[in-house]
Amino acid sequence: MKYLIVSDIHGSLPALEKVLAFYKEQHCDMMLILGDILNYGPRNSIPEGINPKEIANRLNEMADSIVAIRGNCDSEVDQMLLDFPILSDYALIVDNGKRLFLTHGHIYNEDKLPKGKHDYLFYGHTHLWKLEKEKGMTVCNTGSITFPKGGNLPTFAVYENGKTSIYELSGNLLKEC
């Protein structure tokens, strides 16, 4: 399976549209969303092209191909708009025997690991992308497609056959691991 992994959309329709175009062009099988989908949060500015209702419509069209978890800006009201579950703090996906732990990053992260063995840790929350092998697993922070921090560009990740790649929102490959 080919997974597109994205976090911290924060209600920006133009950013999501670029991710969806990449998803289709690259023939991804599923989208894994690591939280902060519709709301931008009180510490962020209002994102360009904010349109949570249309984001919900676009994502609902592909609900059967989405696994999503809750970010610190997601709520029960957001869940009312979405046709796929978003209120779990984490999800575990097993792909060809590899365990992919998905979380937002505000509860579990590389400094506060969940119990059990995981081959991959995917998270967001900090808006700073990262892709490294650490502590016997691959650690990937997908960054943010809407509010990147630290001088970074908007980013997301792709996982396929044991390989993780970080891409700029424009589709340029930044790193593989």
Least confident of 43-47, 74-78, 124-128: 43-47
Residue 138: partners with Cβ closer than 8 Å, 6 or more residues away: 119, 120, 121, 131, 132, 164, 177
The pTM of this model reads 0.96
Domain count, the chain: 1
How many CA atoms lie within 13 Å of 96's alpha carbon, on the beta-carbon side? Answer: 9
20 Cα distance to chain centroid: 13
Predicted confidence at residue 29, as pLDDT, reads: 98
Edge-first strand order for the sheet with 130-134 is 90-95, 98-103, 120-123, 137-141, 130-134
The domain in which residue 104 lies consists of 2-176
Please say whether the beta carbons of 59 and 82 come within 8 A.
yes
Q: How far apart are CA 43 and CA 39, in angstroms?
A: 11
Give the pLDDT band of residue 145 (cuts 50, 70, 90). very high
Residue range 157-163: mean pLDDT, rounded: 97
76: exposed, middle or buried (Cβ count in 10 Å: 0-12, 13-18, 19+): exposed
Q: Kindly tell me if the per-residue pLDDT of 69 is higher than 80.
A: yes
Please report which residue ranges of the chain form alpha helices under DSSP H. 13-25, 52-60, 76-81
Residue 125, helix vs strand vs coil: coil
Predicted confidence at residue 38, as pLDDT, reads: 96
% of the chain exceeding 90 in pLDDT = 90
Give me the CATH number covering residue 153.
3.60.21.10
Residue range 23-33: mean pLDDT, rounded: 98
